[in-house]
Amino acid sequence: MPLFLSVLLLATPMNDPLAQAGGVADPAPAYTVDASAPATKQQVDTKRYRFVLSNGSELVGRILERIGETQVKIALLDGTERTLFWADIEAQFEFENVQIGADGSVWDTNPNRTRHLYAPSAMPLKEGEGYLSLKELFFLSGAYGVTDNVSILVGSFVPTLFLMDGTGLIGALKVAGEIGEDVYVAGGGEVITLPDFSESGGLSLVGIGFGGLTFGKPDRQLTISAGRPFSLAGADPDLGDALLVVAGQYRLTNNVGIVSENWIFPTQESPGGGGVLSVHALAIRRINKNFAWDAGLIGVAGLPGAFPWIDWTWNIGTARRVPK
C-alpha cells in the first residue's frame, strides 16, 4: 500500500460516516456549550445595596454571585469582596446615591420632600417610609408609604382626642408618581370629622379632593395643586367652591431650607375686603436625617399682623426591603 494512503487511513476516524463515504466532515467547533448545565455565576448586579447583618453592622456593595441557596458574594465599594450567608443578612435595601448640594458639600437625602408645611407635594413616599408630624402643638398626624406610589395619612386635632366621640379625626390618601424628568403628579383626598351643629346633631364628614403637579428635585421644588371641598354627611359648611395651593421649598445647605405655602380660595372674599381670601406662610426648615422642624409666620391677606407657625416631623420609616 502506498505510504500516503496508509497515513490517510490512520488519520481518518473509522466511525465517521462522511469519511467512510468519501465525503469531507465539517471541522469541529472550537467551543461547545451544554445549555442544560447549570450556570455557576450570574451577571454582576450593577445596583448598589445596603446589607444589614444580624450583628447590627452594615455593608454597602454590589452582588457578584449567588452561591447556591445559602450564600452570596458581594463587592464592597473599596473593591474588596465578601462572601456572606443569606441567613446572616437581616435586610437588604437599595442604596441611594450620594448627593452633592448647591454648596458643594455632601447632602443627606431629603426625607421631607413629600410635604411642605401642611399641603403635600406630588412626590411620593416610598414603600416603608413614614413620618409623624405635630403642627402648632394642635394637629398630630402620621403618614406611611403603602407602596412606592400610594401613601395614607391619619391624624387628629390634639384637644379633640380627649372628647372620645370621633370629632376631629382626619384621614387622607395620596397616589403619586414621576411622569417625566423632575415632573411629578399626584391626586387624592382628605376628610375630617367635625361637629354637626344642625338639629340632627352628630358629626359632619367634610373633605377636599385634590390634584397637583410638582416640578424640580427633592431639594428645589415647586408644587401647584387644586381641589374642591365637599361634604359627605351632616351639615354642609361653607367651604367655597375651589382651593388653589402654590407651595415650594428650597434647600440652602444640608441642614437648612426655606418653605413657602400659599392657599387661595377664589370664590371666598377676604375678611379684610378688597380681594379673594388667601393665606400665606413662610418658614425656615431645619433638616436632619431623622427629624425636621419648621419655624415661621402665617397670615391672612388683608389682615394686619401674622401668627407664628411651628411644626416638628419625625421620620420613622425607611425605604422598602429588596427581596433576597
Q: Give me 242's grid cell.
A: 375651589
Question: Nearest-CA neighbor of 204 among 214, 193, 213?
Answer: 193
Q: Give me 157's grid cell.
A: 386635632
Q: Give me 166's grid cell.
A: 370621633
On the 0-12 / 13-18 / 19+ scale of CB atoms within 10 A, 294 is buried
- Vertex 226, ends 224 and 229: CA angle to 5°? 150
This model's pTM is above 0.85: no
Exposure string for 87-122, b = 16+ CB within 10 A, e = fewer: eebebbbebeeebeeeeeeebeebbbbbbbbbbbbb
CA separation, residue 69 to residues 46, 76, 120, 242, 324 (Å): 21, 21, 43, 58, 10
Which runs of consecutive H residues, i.e. helices, occur in 12-125?
17-20
Per-residue model confidence (pLDDT) at position 284: 98
Per-residue model confidence (pLDDT) at position 158: 87
| Structural domains of the chain, ranges and CATH numbers in brackets | 49-94 (2.30.30.100), 99-315 (2.40.160.40)
Along the 324 residues of the chain, how does pLDDT read in single tens digits? 443 334 333 344 444 443 344 444 444 443 343 444 444 444 556 788 888 898 988 888 899 999 988 999 999 988 899 999 999 988 787 776 667 777 777 787 788 999 999 999 999 998 888 999 999 999 999 999 999 999 999 999 888 877 777 788 999 999 999 999 999 999 999 999 887 766 566 778 888 999 999 999 999 999 999 998 888 765 555 667 899 999 999 999 989 999 999 999 998 888 877 788 999 999 999 998 788 999 999 999 988 889 999 999 998 866 555 555
Q: Give me 191's grid cell.
A: 376628610
Cell 351639615 sits on residue: 235
Other CB atoms within 10 Å distance of the CB of residue 272: 12
Per-residue model confidence (pLDDT) at position 32: 40
Longest dimension (CA), the chain: 125
How far apart CA 92 and CA 98 sit, in angstroms, is 18
CA separation, residue 298 to residues 113, 142, 281 (Å): 21, 23, 4
Per-residue model confidence (pLDDT) at position 200: 63
Answer yes or no: are the C-beta atoms of 178 and 193 closer than 8 Å: no
